Structure 1
Amino acid sequence: MKRDAHIHSPYCPHGTKDALSAYVEKAIISGFTDISFTEHAPLPPSFEDTTPDQDSGMDLPTLAAYLDAVERVKESYKQDITIRTGLEVDYVEGYEEETRAFLDEIGPRLDDAILSVHFLKIGDRYFCIDFSEEVFMEAARLAGSTKKLYDRYYDAVEASVTADLGVYKPMRIGHPTLIHKFQLHHGDKIDDHIRIERLFRTIAKQGYEIDMNGAGFSKAGCLESYPPAAYLPYAKSLGIPLVFGSDAHNVQGLHKHYEKFYNESTPK
């Protein structure tokens, strides 16, 4: 089975206008048999998006339109490919109750979901840590160092893994080393292998999956997957399911870097 389980859509506030059907047809042509649309869920209602355009997640009317659109494309292509209705849900520290309430309401409509950390609280401010190198560096300055920012990130991801978000909590942890996005730009050599391995043990203990995310290969400041390939054997040794996700925000990016994880002789 060829599966791409982290795909965005024309309903992404900061993405493409490529039609859902265009994604599906490319997936079929590329030999994929299972895909998940995992659009950015609305942020907690009382949380203020700190990105300039405040476009990190869908609003509620867009969410309703997105869910209906995915259901239509699922029906249209049901003889050709498995399509899963999903969301990428942000874990924002301090907003667990609102996130749980959202999942309680929307969870019954989902086939798949990812839980990701994009926003970190440093002092009394939240930073979208992967938005830009400038935002990253400001967060590192306020955290006290790049190393301390890395530690804050892993603290937040571990908190997401153990948080009580109800029965519809996503079982897959999104791009668990996203903090590496600017590693070739910030100039500090950070050894975070202890934190990564500890995070993986926490994920394994909870029985969750890892989003084996290829998007970092395309980021000039990263040039590796999230998580890096060197850690995949350790994850496998812990029995953690690794689920490929291209994290595509347009049709061109769909399935990108899949071949870096798999070849024709590698079990899917």
Structure 2
Amino acid sequence: MGIEFQELLWLALSMLIAGGVTGLLAGLFGVGGGTVAVPVLYELFRYLGVPEDVLMPLSIGTSLAIIIPTSIRSYRAHLARGAVDTSLLKAWAVPVVAGVIAGSVIARYAPAELFKFVFIVVAGVSAIRLLFGKDSWKLADQLPGKLAIRFCGLIIGVLSSLMGIGGGQLSNLFMTFYNRPIHQAVATSSGLGILISIPGALGYIYAGWPRAAQFPDVAALQPPLALGYVSLLGFFLVIPTSILAAPVGVKLAHSLSKRKLEVAFGVFLLLICLRFLISVIY
């Protein structure tokens, strides 16, 4: 019993530290979703001995759960300012949720390498845009037709659920490529985070439920510490410390120029891509 208590204590302490690191980086780079949380949780769970087969989906499922309260709070604030494109959000609602459900089903059967590959591709594209992108990079001055919008929503839902993000990176890219203001893109993305995180977290509980029985010795996967691929300990402990640490990152961010922040975040994403690529190869 003593060993079990020590293991639980170490797991809880690790989650608090992970939350602090996530909040610091989120405040520094102006993101609050899985782009930061997933790699931090990945390294934490790996250090705690979670098997490689379930390491990435556990990180992603926990990240999606963590995004839920922050997405709701962010969306309400943006909505109050009138910055959300509600018509686009309504057009995306059904296809995005359908994409998230499809992604959750894929997560139940997909090999570990698939999650890393999706993260590498999407984060890599974002990094290239941050490092080399220009304001002139756009596809058109107006959004495409409804069918194209819904198809993009479906793809955003699938990819976001396989990355553990709230969809902000993908929807921001989509909207800015079609000449929408970045503030409107960010505001609308906050609503997208709700559409993705809630069904996504539930989907990862479903996807990971039978896997916990295959690893009875891994405490981080077992109830009541986890439900499927969602670490409840991570959910309850990462959020408070990330909220406390975020202002420190924000303060640091304000000491840097916009371009320096873009370069720093771009380099951060490339390093994460490289880390996952190496783990796939070796």
TM-score between both structures, scaled by the size of structure 2? 0.26
Structure of greater relative contact order (alpha carbons < 8 Å, 6+ residues apart): 2
TM-score between both structures, scaled by the size of structure 1? 0.27
More strand by percentage: 1
